[in-house]
Amino acid sequence: MSLRIFLSILLSSLLLMSAPGRAAESAMTLQNPTILVLGDSLSAGYGLDADQGWVHLLKQKLRTGDFPHTVINASISGETTAGGLARLPSLLDRHQPQLVLVELGGNDGLRALPVPQIRQNLERIVDLSADGGATAVLFEMRIPENYGPTYTEAFTRTFTQVSEARGVPLVPFLLAAFATDPAAFQSDGIHPSAAAQAQILDTVWPALEPLLNR
């Protein structure tokens, strides 16, 4: 057998062996769309065990409901819209998500950052997600009334305005169902307790479920 024929047979064999692997990998990619959670401490599970936060409960709910989605939690305690915007391009490139859940803005408001700046950052996050082939889902955020009615109302309106302007879903304020119940919060009075996480997921799910392609 000539060297040329031998090499030809060897190459054909290698291609046949690798094809099923590539096909399986492609099928897995198609069958497992990714949900990227881009949030702050409310989504990072501040003060909670790893299996107690609402994002972990979301993973369980998807698994129980036979949804194929993979959930990537890229949330960081203290994160702002500017920080999320800066991290988003690499996250999109790495995970190629179908959905980006944007739970940001609360820390901006608590720092009384300019509302136009917050809106611009949120719009860029939505636009970058769309450019990367993902649908963004905005989470409405609120801040205490002691920031004054002018700033507080403008801050809250921003999320609805961005949602309407960009045509993306809006999740109502995550803490609305238990905001007046001190027992639903940890000792700091700011972060929800483990027991309240299921209520947070109940707030997220109605906006998220219609976007999940089985």
Active-site residues, by number, are 41, 188, 191
Q: Is 147 helix (H, G, I), strand (E, B) or coil?
A: helix
Q: Both tokens of residue 17?
A: 């062996």
Q: Both tokens of residue 176?
A: 């609305």
In angstroms, the CA 3 to CA 174 distance is: 68
* 81 in Cβ contact with 124 (< 8 Å): no
* 168 in Cβ contact with 135 (< 8 Å): yes
DSSP percent split of the chain into helix, strand, coil, nearest 5? 55, 10, 30
Compute how many other C-beta atoms are within 10 angstroms of the C-beta atom of residue 36: 27
**Reading across the β-sheet that carries 99-103, which strands appear in turn?**
70-73, 34-39, 99-103, 135-139, 170-171
